[in-house]
Amino acid sequence: MLLAVDVGNTNITCAVLNGEEFVTSFRMTTKLPRTSDEFGILICDILKNREIALKKIEAVIVASVVPGIMYSLTSGIIKYLGIRPMIVGEGTKTGIRIDAINPKEIGADRIVDAVAAYHLHGGPVIVIDFGTATTYDLITKDGAFTAGITSPGLRISANALWNDTAKLPEIQIEKPASILAKETVTSMQAGLVYGCIGQTEYIVKKIIEEAKLTDVKVVATGGLGKLIADSTDCIQVYDPMLTMKGLCMIYEKTTGKKM
């Protein structure tokens, strides 16, 4: 079995894969400081709780956009699982060409999503990840990561609303029945969600227009992605496990081993 780990700015998402089967998945908070022992024990305890024998974990692959926790995380994995994880980074075989001024600036999570979207759906494909930040990436027909757009994610925007204003409350992020809000909570929900839908549709439209695309698939992922994908026709596919699929593909491509 393969343990795939995606270290994001808000959460560390883990999934156990057995071939093409997703055995289980779980999340840990990124911003809570942990030692290598704490990471190792937590991961092992969760796996045992899910009735997964530690000896069945044969390999670990990690994609991270948070360098500050990598030493503790990887040390914990080595100490408690006895496996040195593969880290997605420069030199990793992905099958995607990075057509950027500075390829090193492209986050590992975006590369992983691009790999999965391209190999599952072909190109050209626009990949949208509704995470801490919302990212829009274009992969061409021949597999080149050619453009990327980054905007504040829904949670960042929501936090700014209630943290930087005196009277606005903390709210649940959900789509109200109507944009014609009549009180504070639905007013905020309408602005956040309908605003994100509008941004998504406009950015996708501009990517297609400026790249002169005639046939492109739009694939979305990320925690709040389903909320937006269900509300617009510009997204054809919502895949919450896209990153994990990409990590598995990269591991198999790099090692030549089928998990």
C-alpha 123: how far from its chain's center?
19
Within 10 angstroms of residue 166's Cβ, the number of other Cβ atoms is 5
CA distances from 148 to 53, 69, 128, 138, 225 (A): 40, 25, 10, 6, 17
- Bridge partners, 60 (sequence order): 3
Distances, alpha carbon 134 to alpha carbons 22, 39, 77, 81, 152, in Å:
25, 27, 29, 33, 6
Q: In whole angstroms, give the CA distance from residue 127 to residue 118.
A: 9
Residue with the two structure tokens 């046939």: 215
Which candidate in 37, 45, 109, 113 is catalytic?
A: 109
Whole-angstrom Cα distance, residue 177 to residue 183?
Answer: 13
109 is catalytic: yes
Residues 6+ apart with CB under 8 A from 60: 2, 3, 4, 5, 77, 81, 83, 85, 86
By CB neighbour count within 10 A (0-12 exposed, 13-18 middle, 19+ buried), where does 218 fall? Answer: buried
Give the end-to-end CA distance of the chain in Å, rounded to a whole number: 6
Q: Enter the tokens of residue 117.
A: 């979207």
Residues annotated catalytic, as ranges: 109
